A and B are shown apart, each in its own frame.
Chain A
Amino acid sequence: MIRRVVVFVDERTGTAPFLKKALRYVFPDHWSFLLGEVALYAFVVLVATGIYLTFFFVPSTETVTYHGSYAPLQGVEMTKAYESVVHLSLEVKAGLLIRQTHHWAANVFIAAIVLHLLRIFFTGAYRKPRDLTYYVGLVMLFTALLEGYLGYSLVDDLLSGMGLAIGYSVALSIPFFGANLANLIWNGVYPGAEDFWSRMYIAHVLLLPVLIGLLIGIHLFLVASRHHTQFPGPKKTERKVVGTPTYPGQTPKSLGLLFGTTSLLFFLGGLVQINPVWLWGPYETYLSTNGAQPDWYLGWLIGGLRLMPNWEPSAFGYTFVPNPFWGGAAFPLVVFAVLLLWPTAERRITGDRGFHNLLDRPRDAPWRTAFGAGFFTWVFLVFVAGSADRIDVFFGLSYVDQIHAYWVVIWVLPLVVFAVALRVCRTLQRKELIEADQRRAQMEARAANRS
């Protein structure tokens, strides 16, 4: 049977040599190499559940009166978009399960990408010949953030409307042409024309997913063509990669991870409530609610927007930089720019332009580790500042005092973390040198004793 299939395929495609190579492609083994795979599988779940959702969702802002099964909304005027999501959640069998699984998958997708990025950064896996792979990954992260934001904006509940108003204000705040750009996207002044919803919808269900799919393809092609990196070890050198083959060794492992990720997402989707949109009610421009929090992956932006002092430079009637630009656009641009420029900067600073197939442990590159630790601490603190209002509610710490404290902390703490990380790396390095010396001395002593 197997022979018959192989012969059939090879006679018609001539792919036997390629397939043989693919089956015996070598995967180095380390748990942290699986983070990117988790992201890939979350994307698979996102696409599958997302297709199901499109069969029910109506991307229209036409007004209807609610007459569904949820009593508190009875007789309330709302858009068809919102009504269709409430209907899907409360009346369609398995609808809520699939919707919540989709939402959780988005959160896990981006979490896995970010953890994968941290792994790549701190092990120096982005160095030549894999810098291109790293850039593609960063573009994917940006696209995924936008895709997630559009996903929960489409629902048109009160929270999603508030998120859209903020997104609109950030677009509007772009110096010089922000108003023109916002006019183009929204087809007029906020809340814009009805066709804005068609645009968001097609971007969320077709344009961005296809873009992410293409980028995943390029990313995986680049990974496979240059092979995986590996930590140094016996036989593991810059020239030779050591590990398990795709088949049989790696296949059950990867399938296990796929099934495990899917299992986790369905458990979350079934058991842990996420975004109960029927509770929020429909959005109107003149309504808002306190205590609104976006999905976790936009927390850094809300933190940036909230932390920014009310500086809005203007003169001669021109408002050069409307305030939301700082936290909502400049901050993420700086973060992405630093990540994009880092491989080049490191090459320039260290003068190391060589090929690197072996990974560094964080301690092996103290300056990189220290810089990364400080930089990500900075981003993380802004992220944490985004929930200062929740801290106020739960722990009674004054919001105003917290903001003032963050103005200092977000600049000081990264420097402290930088210094500590540098110190720790160097100590660990020195310890290893001493231990190696001791081992050598012991061996020499033993050899001397024997002779």
Chain B
Amino acid sequence: MSRLRDWLVAAAVLLLGRGRPKRRETRLVAAGPENPGSELVAVALFLAAALCAAAFPVLYALDRLPRQTQLLGVAIGLAFAFLAAAMIVLAKRVVPDEELDENYSLPSVPKQEELVGIVEESTDRITRKRLLGLAAGAAGAAVGVALVTPAVSLGPVFDTSGFYETPWRRGRRLVDEQGRPLLADDIEEATFYTAFPEGADKESIAAPLVVVRLDPATIALPAGRESWAPDGIVAYSKICTHAGCAVSLYRSPLFEPVEPAPALVCPCHYSTFNPATGGTVEFGPAGRPLPQLPLVVAAGGELQSGGNFSQAPGPSWWGVRMRRPT
């Protein structure tokens, strides 16, 4: 019986002990601290992380759970927080605290020399070095140009005429967002209206207008625009000449102590335009006045365009002052 037991023990030792490393003479890694308590803390933290992570699919599966986003975020957030805590416990208490040093690598001068030698000697029997270089350069440049040529199809890179085009023509009716014609009599003071050319694409930055009615006595438009504001109604491009945002703030009615006159304001960078003087810049970074559109009150009181903008609408570019819009 005892013999059998000895055999069994020997077999177990042989089986389980197989492949166990032989003890090394000297340690490679400094002996870690013996800290069974901290190991248990790490175990608890891992289990807490597992618990929180397991809550995530449960919360996910619950239908019509109020504040599901928040609960999901807390569950997964806590899971990672516990994992982080476990790692910190391991780092501070369990893992051996070693301080190693290592030499900073220095450049090897002989190796550098060898490299230079290999490159130089490989071509030192070539007599037409410069010619070869030039020819190869020409080939490289030409191939490069050929390969980027298809990129020109990305857009009308050489044709900037589109910047001058607007849908506004003499006699074109002004309509609101729903397509209903704007009537001069409906335009009130101290508020602003957004208008579009009838039947045109509203999304084009040359289309939208901001229309306001002013006291005719306060209007002082630049020379040549005397007839552009029938009954004190003026219209300007709604797209800011600074950075292309919609000019959607109207400083009116006024708070007299600080606001001298009605003004159109862009909410992006607060460029402020005076509608009484042809859209001139009162304040802010815009470098040009808002382009003005001449208005005509047609028979029946409908507002119509009396022509095109005073200048190309939209943000400035190299050629914005070169041509009138068409």
Contact = CB atoms under 8 A, between A and B. Distances in A.
A162 B157 CA distance: 24
A178 to B, nearest CB: 5
Contact of A188 (B86, B156, B287): B156
Interface stretch (B108-116, B167-175, B222-230, B235-243): B235-243
B77 A168 contact: no
Given A240-B104, A308-B285, A252 B90 contact: yes
Interface of B: 19, 21, 29, 32, 60, 68-74, 76-81, 83-88, 90-91, 95-105, 107, 151-152, 154-160, 162-163, 165, 194, 196, 202-208, 238-239, 242-249, 258, 266-271, 281, 283-288, 314-322
Interface string A249-266: 101110111011011101
B285 A173 contact: no
Contacts of B165: 189
B267 A291 contact: yes
Nearest to A175: B318
A305 B104 contact: no
B159 A183 contact: yes
Interface size, A (range): 35 or more
Given A169-B316, A244-B100, A285-B204, 8 more contacts: A26-B102, A166-B244, A177-B318, A259-B87, A285-B203, A312-B287, A319-B316, A320-B318
Nearest to B238: A286
A320 B165 CA distance: 21
A318 B158 contact: no
10 contacts: A3-B21, A177-B318, A227-B104, A240-B102, A245-B98, A252-B91, A263-B77, A263-B79, A263-B84, A318-B319
Interface of A: 3-4, 24-26, 93-94, 96-97, 100-101, 129, 162, 165-166, 168-170, 172-173, 175-193, 199, 225-227, 235, 238-245, 248-249, 251-253, 255-257, 259-260, 262-264, 266-271, 284-292, 302, 305-312, 314, 317-320, 322-324, 327-328, 357, 389, 398-400
Nearest to B322: A317
A291 B162 CA distance: 32
B307 to A, nearest CB: 21
A169 B243 contact: yes
B174 to A, nearest CB: 13
Given A172-B315, A319-B318, A324 B242 contact: yes
B19 A3 contact: yes
A269 B69 CA distance: 8
User: Among the interface residues B72, B85, B207, B238, which one has the most CB atoms of the partner chain A within 10 A?
Assistant: B72
User: Among the interface residues B84, B206, B208, which one has the most CB atoms of the partner chain A within 10 A?
Assistant: B84
B203 A249 contact: no
A18 to B, nearest CB: 15
A184 B157 contact: yes
Given A269-B73, A284-B203, A179 B163 contact: yes
Given A188-B155, A271-B70, A323-B316, A241 B243 contact: no
A226 B105 CA distance: 6
Given A94-B72, A310-B286, A249 B98 contact: yes
Given A253-B87, A263-B78, A288 B320 contact: no
B17 to A, nearest CB: 14
Contacts of A311: 287
A312 B288 CA distance: 8
Contacts of B314: 189-190
A389 B80 contact: no
A332 to B, nearest CB: 15
A170 B243 contact: yes
Given A240-B101, A256-B84, A172 B157 contact: no
B270 A306 contact: yes
A441 B41 CA distance: 50
Contacts of B316: 169, 172-173, 312, 319, 322-324
Given A179-B163, A239-B104, A267 B87 contact: no
B248 A287 contact: yes
Contacts of A100: 69, 73
Contact of A187 (B105, B154, B321): B154
